[in-house]
Structure 1
């Protein structure tokens, strides 16, 4: 990747422990984050967490994103590793279109159908910046914390020693969403 701007490394104390943090601005102007423990194991646990403002910051229970984020931070703080906060909101359709997709979901469309109604594929995300960040930290092998097979496939040059699942208990608001992720997007739930 070209034209990547990289910040300095800073301390980030959290309720899970103190992480180190570094930002990466890609050629499109999106700013992604790497949160990592002070010492990275030879084979760190890595979570590639796609941005979800509604779930991560606002506590929405329409998805499982916020719960996945908190699960990952807790595990990484204990075991050592890295969380890459991948700034591609709404599977990379953006916040405005994500809210439009929510409105369509309110009318009975599932998450995939709503994206299609708006003219998008089911998942518009790309992962080049993720591979760049992992290479920047010289991570050649890892334990990937994910349920998404597309994330596994996207890290072609990195050895994935193990896939660690994230099991979140469904609630009445995200039960159908999780079913759609499993049946139509192939998530390993």
Structure 2
């Protein structure tokens, strides 16, 4: 059973994020508390899935950028859907934790249609960074401020962050969230996403030591 007292709002902070709703959400991984937020500065609607008592230090945490193709349609072009499922499972196994799901982050912040255009260019041989730049867009346009504000509102002081991305760690630190541990979130590479993952390691510095293994066949 989830105790809603464990998601008290921190009303002492000045923030652009407004908590709008809190409701129990039963999923295939377990029963979470869904906490809905409005980012008043951008108009984006955001959600945190809370499991157990997360207040204080060391909550197992995933800050997940939305990916319609991966999260919903199970695209093999990326590892997003696999990471989302693995993170929710890990949080339940841990007994406490939170997943922040960030809208407005599609395609590392360039939007769905631009992401599909970038995927066209990747099919022609560009890597994911080259494709974004060829469209006149940033390689990574994401802002993690709202994730930090949501965590502050939930009473989380420090996190064990499930991420392979050092830039995400730096961004949360800049917004006042302490990182007590970086927890790898490694998924088995596939033939379809190996080049994409290699690009993330080489161009963005993602910590992906498992890529030297033979990828799983399609």
- The TM-score with structure 2 as length reference comes to 0.84
What's the counterpart of residue 18 of structure 2? Answer: 5
Separation in 2, partners of 1:40, 1:134: 10
1:75 counterpart residue number: 90
State the match for 2:100 in structure 1.
84
CA distance in 1, matches of 2:17, 2:182: 28
Give unpaired runs (5+ residues) of structure 1. none
1:37 to 51, 67, 70: 51
2:17 and 2:165 map into 1 onto residues whose CA distance is 26
Total equivalences in the alignment = 189
SS of the residue corresponding to residue 62 of structure 1 reads coil
In the other structure, the counterpart of 1:28 is 42
Match of 1:106 among 102, 107, 123: 123
- Residue in structure 2 matching 1:62, options 68, 77, 89: 77
TM norm structure 1: 0.96
Q: Please, which runs of 5 or more residues in structure 2 have no aligned partner?
A: 1-13, 209-218
Q: Is the 8 A contact 2:66 2:101 kept in 1?
A: yes
The two structures, once aligned, show a CA RMSD in angstroms of 1.2
Q: 2:110 corresponds to which residue?
A: 93
How far is the alpha carbon of 1:6 from its aligned partner? 1.9
Candidates 66, 70, 81, aligned match of 1:51:
66
Contact 2:17 2:150 in 1 (8 A): no
Larger Rg: 2
The alpha carbon displacement at 1:2 in A equals 5.0
Bigger mean CA offset, 140-149 vs 39-48:
39-48
1:47-98 CA distance string (max 9 Å, x none): 0000000000000000000000000000011111000001111100000101
For residues 58 and 145 of structure 2, the distance between their equivalents in structure 1, rounded to whole angstroms, comes to: 21
CA distance in structure 2 between the partners assigned to 1:132 and 1:148 by the alignment: 19
Aligned position for 2:196: 177
Q: Choose which of 158, 166, 178 in structure 2 pairs with 1:159.
A: 178
Deviation of the 1:5 alpha carbon = 3.1
